[in-house]
Structure 1
Amino acid sequence: MTPPSPAIGRNDLAILLFILLLAAVLRTAGLNTPLWYDEIWTVDTHVRLPWSDMMREYSMNHHYFFSMKAKLFSQIFGEEAWAYRFPAVLFGVGTVAAIWWLAKEVANTRIAHVSALLVALSYHQVWFSQNARGYTELAFWSVLGLVLFLRGVHRPAMGTWIAFGLTAAAAVFTHLTGAFFFVALGLVWLISLVTGFGRDTLTREWVLRPLIGVAIALVLTLLAYLPVLPSLLNTMGEISATSAVDKMQVYQSPVWTMVEGLRTTIGNTGSLTLIVAIVGLATIAFGALGTHSAQPLFFVAIAMHIAVTLAILMSLDMRIWPRFFFVDIGPVIVLVVVGCGYGAGLVARLLKRPQLGRVLFAAGVLAMVVVSVFLVQRNYDAPKQDLAGAFDFVEGTRGPSERVYAINPGGPVFESHFGADWTTIGDADGYDQAMAQPGPMALVVLFPNRMFRVIPRLETDVEGQLEFVRAFAGTLGDGRVLVYRRK
């Protein structure tokens, strides 16, 4: 790998601008599709509250800093799906720019261009950029924090560490799990302090200025969460209890998380999934080697965040959703691009053909871009979860005496958001009571993989007395909405 580029030329800025425009187009196309369950829950229980009530209680479902922006946009542009999601678009495009900066710090402008392009085309990055939730904001603050951390370790300027503290506070106020990333960076800093790994000299400024940044982050975070602090502590105490009785215990497995992450990335490809995983791990390993000379703490920071997140979630018996690692996608893409170049150069040196390295790197980049273009199109195949379509269909075909039940693991979103007179069923007892009543009925099943497990009798009934009517596709994992009827 070549050393980091010392300056940014006009051509580099032009390429970056093109990539950002591409990212913006991909993230605004189809932005007004129907809201899915989590988005509706966020809007109904948080964003639509008066400003003074938005910090009245803590919920893991709330992304507080993001929701404030979503509320502002909805007040300016109206209560439209695209308005709630637009802050996610802005932070999604911002994350592309932050990744470009990060890649330039650990490699050079060529790696920065390719990394930013792949993040712009990333299926997951586009999906979450069109989601009225704070994940792209969390990714933006985390990547920016990583850039500032790496800079601060090499050149411990006070301004850098103050900016780091502000960034950390913004991330944690977006969502409490944002603390995982900055705790990981703190552990990396301690390792560097004790062992000398990744630093040149140990000075008073190197030790004290990061601590000032941390102090700023802690004070601002405490002030931000102070109105909901009692509720926050109570919620943390209840997490293990709710997870222990969850029928989907598989969600607490790191293996499931890894497999689900690969599945949503490349689809159900059978044995190809294993091949992709092996090649990906090898490329990441090359990336760790390739970034070691310029930024030896870069790979360590990513690995530490994954380890810290897994340790905390498993210790609390929490569900290990792949989205908890969403912030790592961009930095891992940087590692993959660097690894591709490093591996290509290694092959060229072994074969003593210097020009071959450039050809192999270009071929690898082309392959990654082509695959990314193919995968990103899946974002536009269907809404994330078509609750609006299911509601319109059921109401439009509903008989005069037909009862409608929403089989749903959460609250009555059809009633709160659509004004439906439907009854929510969340467990086997509620289902048995509904089926015991005579007369025609319609069942709208959300998250069918989960609900068929929660209500075993449902699977039996759909093969007998219930008639399948229609399925509404969704890009969300387990995002189909199924409609059944009993005459």
Structure 2
Amino acid sequence: MQYTVLRSVDYFLLAAILALAIVLRLIGLNAPLWYDEIVTIQSYVRGPWSDIMQGYSMNNHYLFTLQSKLSTSVFGDHIWAYRLPAVLFGTGTVLAIWWLARDVAGVAVAHVSALLIALSYHQVWFSQNARGYTELAFWSTLGMIFFLRGVNAPKRGTWVAYGLVLAAAVFTHLTGAFFFAAQGLVWLVLVIALALKGQLPRDLLLSPLIGATVGLLSLAAFYAPVIPDVLNTVGSVSETSAVDLMQEYQNPIWTVFEGVRTAIGTAGALPLLVALAVVAVSCIGTATLHGRAPLFAPMVLAHILLMLVLLLALGMRVWPRFFFTDIGFILILIVVGVSATTRFAGRLVGRPTLGRYLFIAASAAMVLISIALIQRNYSAPKQDMAGAYEMAESIRTAEQTYIP
């Protein structure tokens, strides 16, 4: 893996992208809360500090809850203050995606990928959501960076950082364990393959184990008070799922269509076409990155498949948000695929420089589409709780004043 040397203009573009990202996440930040946020705030954030770790709940994203409580302790009881950590980690994810893309594909792909994640409808939506999904994406992206760098140049410090990031991710949201488990499987396959060839470096075996030990010990310390509740909750999931009235939510095909539908805001055949196009371009990106970062795409695929298998095995709903951390990675593959396709088109007509202009044009098109889609974040509340309340009140008032 080769690291691109940065110029002054690259730092300027990165700063501009980050400034845009935080502005987009601050617009409408004080909009009304929706159901899941209300449950988290009422059940955990507004309670005493000592109660946050008294039991386990899938709606309590521990590390984020602590940060949200700290934010409201400093800034007061405001909706925007509850959501502020999500804004910061959402913006941090833009920077982390830029860093990762620069490592695996170069600075041009990094700029486009970071800009697209800054403009991502889903990323902005969750950056304005008082829950820990953007934080999970941030720690997971750092985990991908440290993993790839650690494999490329096995240094103990890199793997210790990886272990701490692992702990932070899983302490934010329990499904973070699936992401790092997928990386562990990829590492195990790599170690076995190198060992069979007699080419296994000692540091590639020991340093990751040290990092993993740091992460697991930290997690044991974090989760020790609630481990019985964690096991009980996970064990009871299949029972509640068996009587779930919305069985289609447990269907991976529904998850794919729902993820695409919410991104493009339409139904019918278009989501299928978009999904097929994303898969095709991502495959081109995967093939292109095989020489420079051969483990990147396999880790993304391993996480998606492992998450699906475990969710189906537990009988859980396969919510698109469980794959939220993969959005940035897939965007990198898409941008790399578009870059490779445009370069090929330029060479095909005997004008290699044309490929560069085609890439700029394609990137501009993706940016314009993202700008069109992101406006839906500001056009309506996440859930019209206030409207529902007003409607209920109007019905109640009408019943009280009705004279037969």
- For this structure pair, what is the TM-score category when the shorter chain's length is used for normalisation? over 0.9
Larger-Rg structure = 1
Give the 3-state SS of the residue equivalent to 1:296 in structure 2: coil
Q: Partner amino acid for 2:246?
A: M
| RMSD value, Cα | 1.9
What are the within-5 Å matches in structure 2 for residues 283-322 of structure 1?
A: 283-322=281-320
Shift of 1:201: 4.5
Residues 1:367 and 1:245: Cα distance change in structure 2 (over 3 Å) = same
Residues 1:223 and 1:356: Cα distance change in structure 2 (over 3 Å) = same
Give yes or no for contact 1:47–1:54 (8 Å, CA) kept in 2. yes
The answer on 1:385 being equivalent to 2:399 is no
What are the within-5 Å matches in structure 2 for residues 339-350 of structure 1?
A: 339-350=337-348
Q: 1:123 aligns with which of 121, 124, 140?
A: 121
Aligned to 2:327: 329
Query: C-alpha deviations, 1:372-426, integer Å up to 9, x for none?
Result: 00000000011101213332453366427559xxxxxxxxxxxxxxxxxxxxxxx
Aligned to 2:349: 351
Give yes or no for contact 1:36–1:385 (8 Å, CA) kept in 2. yes
Provide the rounded CA distance (Å) in 2 between the counterparts of 1:201 and 1:215.
Answer: 24
Aligned to 1:406: none
Residues 1:253 and 1:269: Cα distance change in structure 2 (over 3 Å) = closer
Q: Partner amino acid for 2:385?
A: L
Aligned to 1:266: 264
Provide the rounded CA distance (Å) in 1 between the counterparts of 2:349 and 2:189.
Answer: 38
The answer on 1:59 being equivalent to 2:95 is no
Structure 1: any 5+ residue segments left out of the alignment?
Answer: 404-438, 441-486
Give the 3-state SS of the residue equivalent to 2:325 in structure 1: helix
Q: 1:155 aligns with which of 147, 153, 156?
A: 153
Give yes or no for contact 1:4–1:109 (8 Å, CA) kept in 2. no
Query: C-alpha deviations, 1:136-159, integer Å up to 9, x for none?
Result: 000000000000000000101011
- Give percent identity, aligned residues only: 54
Query: C-alpha deviations, 1:57-114, integer Å up to 9, x for none?
Result: 1011110000000001111111111110000000000000000000001011111001
Shift of 1:276: 1.6
Give yes or no for contact 2:18–2:118 (8 Å, CA) kept in 1. yes
Provide the rounded CA distance (Å) in 1 between the counterparts of 2:356 and 2:267.
Answer: 30
Q: Partner amino acid for 1:290?
A: T
What are the within-5 Å matches in structure 2 for residues 94-105 of structure 1?
A: 94-105=92-103
Greater share of strand: 1
Aligned to 1:228: 226
Provide the rounded CA distance (Å) in 2 between the counterparts of 1:27 and 1:189.
Answer: 36
Give the 3-state SS of the residue equivalent to 2:375 in structure 1: helix
What are the within-5 Å matches in structure 2 for residues 70-469 of structure 1?
A: 70-196=68-194, 201-395=199-393, 398-399=396-397, 402=400
Q: Partner amino acid for 1:259?
A: F
Provide the rounded CA distance (Å) in 2 between the counterparts of 1:288 and 1:60.
Answer: 34
Query: C-alpha deviations, 1:441-481, integer Å up to 9, x for none?
Result: xxxxxxxxxxxxxxxxxxxxxxxxxxxxxxxxxxxxxxxxx
Residues 1:186 and 1:37: Cα distance change in structure 2 (over 3 Å) = same
- TM-score under structure 2 normalisation? 0.96
Residues 1:33 and 1:195: Cα distance change in structure 2 (over 3 Å) = same
Q: Partner amino acid for 2:184?
A: G
Give yes or no for contact 1:4–1:104 (8 Å, CA) kept in 2. no
Give the 3-state SS of the residue equivalent to 2:324 in structure 1: helix
Structure 2: any 5+ residue segments left out of the alignment?
Answer: none
Provide the rounded CA distance (Å) in 1 between the counterparts of 2:194 and 2:329.
Answer: 23
Aligned to 2:23: 25
Runs of 4+ in 1 over 6 A off after TM superposition: none
Provide the rounded CA distance (Å) in 1 between the counterparts of 2:20 and 2:292.
Answer: 29
Provide the rounded CA distance (Å) in 2 between the counterparts of 1:387 and 1:287.
Answer: 42
Aligned to 1:8: 6
Give yes or no for contact 1:125–1:136 (8 Å, CA) kept in 2. yes
Q: Partner amino acid for 1:224?
A: F
Give yes or no for contact 1:148–1:164 (8 Å, CA) kept in 2. yes
Higher relative contact order (CA 8 A, sep 6+): 2
Give yes or no for contact 2:4–2:102 (8 Å, CA) kept in 1. no
Shift of 1:293: 1.3
Provide the rounded CA distance (Å) in 2 between the counterparts of 1:326 and 1:4.
Answer: 28
